[in-house]
Copies of this chain bind each other. A is one copy, B any other.
Amino acid sequence: MEKLRIGIAGLGRLGKVHANNIANKIPNAKLVAACSIALPELTYAEKELGVTRTYSDYRKMLQDEDVDAVVVVTTSSEHCWQIAAALDAGKHVFSDKPLGVTLEECKMAQEAVERNPHLTFMLGFMRRSDPSYAYAKEKIDAGAIGTPYMVKATGIDPESAVEGSIRFAKTSGGIFLDMAIHDIDLMRWFLGAEATSVYALGTTFKHLEFKDAGDDETGVAIYQFENGAVGSIHVGRTAPHGYHVETEIIGTEGSIRVSPVPAKNLSVLYNGQGVLTECVENFGTRFDDAYRLEMEEFVDCVLSGRKPGVTVYDGTMSTRIGFATTKAWKTGQIVRI
Contacts and interface: CB of A to CB of B under 8 A. Distances in A.
A75 interface: no
Contacts of A272: 159, 240-241, 253-254
Given A218-B150, A230-B203, A259 B266 contact: yes
Q: Which of A135, A222, A254 has the most CB of B within 10 A?
A: A254
**Total copies of this chain within the assembly:** 4
Nearest to A47: B1
B259 A132 contact: no
A222 B205 contact: no
Contact of A277 (B20, B139, B259, B274): B274
A234 B232 CA distance: 10
Interface string A202-221: 01111000000000001010
B228 A274 contact: no
30 contacts: A24-B26, A25-B25, A131-B265, A132-B266, A135-B264, A139-B267, A144-B271, A147-B206, A150-B218, A150-B234, A152-B234, A201-B222, A201-B224, A203-B229, A205-B228, A205-B229, A205-B252, A220-B232, A232-B232, A241-B272, A244-B270, A256-B268, A257-B270, A258-B267, A259-B266, A263-B266, A263-B275, A273-B276, A274-B278, A276-B276
Interface of A: 1, 20, 23-27, 48, 50, 131-132, 135-136, 139, 144-147, 149-150, 152, 159, 199, 201, 203-206, 218, 220, 222, 224, 228-230, 232, 234, 236, 238-242, 244, 250, 252-279, 332-334
